[in-house]
Chain A
Amino acid sequence: MAIIKATKTPARPEPLSETSVLGWLRKNLFSSAFNTVLTVFTIYVIYLTVSGVYVWGYADATFVAETRRECYGNSLTGACWAGVIDWLDNIFYGRYPRDELWRINFGGLLLAFWMAPLWIARAKGKVLVGASVVVFYPFLAGYLFSGGDKGLFMQVMVSGAIVAFVINMANAIVGILKQESIAQFIIKRLGQANKADKKQRNLLIGLVAVGFGAAYLWQSSWTVEFVTWTKWGGLFLTLVISGIGIASALPGGIILALGRRSKLPVLRVLSTGFIEIFRSVPLITVLFMATTMFPLFMREGFVLNNLVLVIIAVVLFNACYMAETVRAGLQAIPKGQAEGAHTIGLGYWGTMGLIIMPQALKHMIPNIVGSFIGLLKDTTLVSIIGLFDILGMLRSISKDVPWLGLHKEPLIFGAILFFIICFAMSKYSRHLEVKLSAGSNH
Chain B
Amino acid sequence: MKITSILTSLTAAAVMTTTGVTFASAESTLDIVKKRGNLRCQVGQPSPGYYNLDSEGNWYGLDVSVCQAVAAAIFGDKTKLEIQSVSSQARFTALANGESDLLSRTATWTMTRDTQLGIDFLATNFYDGQGFTVRKDSGITSAMELKGAKVCVTTGTTTELNLTDFSRQNDLGIQAVTFEDYNVRDDTYLNGGCDAVTGDKSSMAGNISSFPVPGDHMILPETLSKEPLASAVRHGDSQWSDIVRWSIFALINAEELGITQANVDDMKANSKDPNVLRMLGAEGNLSDGLGLESDWAYNIIKAVGNYGEIYEAYMGHGPQGIGIDRAGSLNALWTDGGLMYSPPMR
Contact = CB atoms under 8 A, between A and B. Distances in A.
B320 A401 contact: yes
A400 interface: yes
A347 interface: no
A86 B97 contact: no
B52 A401 contact: yes
A284 B3 contact: yes
B46 A68 contact: no
A86 B54 CA distance: 10
Given A292-B90, A301-B98, 15 more contacts: A89-B55, A90-B57, A94-B57, A233-B57, A285-B3, A288-B11, A296-B14, A386-B90, A388-B85, A399-B48, A401-B320, A404-B48, A404-B206, A405-B183, A407-B184
A297 B49 CA distance: 35
Interface string B58-72: 100000000000000
Contacts of B85: 386, 388
B211 interface: yes
B12 to A, nearest CB: 10
Contact of A87 (B55, B206, B210, B321): B55
Contacts of A293: 11, 14
Given A292-B11, A405-B211, A95 B97 contact: no
A406 B46 CA distance: 13
Interface in A277-319: 282, 284-285, 288, 291-293, 295-297, 300-303
Nearest to A411: B183
A200 B321 CA distance: 72
Contacts of A58: none
Contacts of B320: 401-402
A171 interface: no
A89 B89 CA distance: 29
14 contacts: A76-B212, A89-B57, A90-B56, A230-B83, A231-B57, A292-B11, A292-B90, A295-B99, A301-B27, A386-B84, A386-B90, A400-B53, A402-B320, A405-B210
A99 to B, nearest CB: 11
A385 to B, nearest CB: 6
Interface string B155-185: 0000000000000000000000000010110
Task: List the 5 shortest-distance A-B pairs measured between CB atoms, nearest first.
Answer: A95-B57, A405-B210, A404-B210, A399-B46, A407-B183
Interface string B178-215: 00010110100000000000000000001101111100
B86 interface: yes
A291 B94 CA distance: 9
Interface in B128-167: none
Interface in B69-101: 82-87, 89-90, 93-94, 97-99
Interface string A93-117: 0111010000000000000000000
B207 A405 contact: yes
B55 A398 contact: no
B32 A386 contact: no
B108 to A, nearest CB: 19
A295 B11 CA distance: 11
B253 to A, nearest CB: 28
B115 interface: no
A246 B287 CA distance: 54
B322 interface: yes
Interface of B: 3-4, 7, 11, 14-15, 18, 22-23, 26-27, 32, 40, 45-49, 52-58, 82-87, 89-90, 93-94, 97-99, 181, 183-184, 186, 206-207, 209-213, 320-322
A384 interface: yes
Contacts of A385: 86-87, 90
A72 interface: yes
Nearest to B190: A405
B321 A401 contact: yes
A32 interface: no
A401 B314 CA distance: 9
A406 B60 CA distance: 18
A396 B83 CA distance: 15
Interface in A50-104: 68, 72, 76, 86-87, 89-90, 94-96, 98
Contacts of B58: 95
A396 B52 CA distance: 8
A360 to B, nearest CB: 35
Contacts of B48: 399-401, 404
Contacts of B181: 407
Contacts of A407: 181, 183-184
Contact of B84 (A95, A230, A297): A230
Nearest to A385: B87
B25 to A, nearest CB: 8
A399 B48 CA distance: 5
Given A296-B15, A303-B99, A405-B183, A396 B46 contact: yes
Contacts of A39: none
Contacts of A388: 53, 85
A72 B26 CA distance: 55
Contacts of A288: 4, 7, 11, 89-90
A300 B321 CA distance: 39
A404 B56 CA distance: 16
B90 A399 contact: no
A235 to B, nearest CB: 14
A292 B57 contact: no
A36 to B, nearest CB: 36
B18 A296 contact: yes
Nearest to B318: A401
Contacts of B212: 72, 76
A400 B211 CA distance: 14
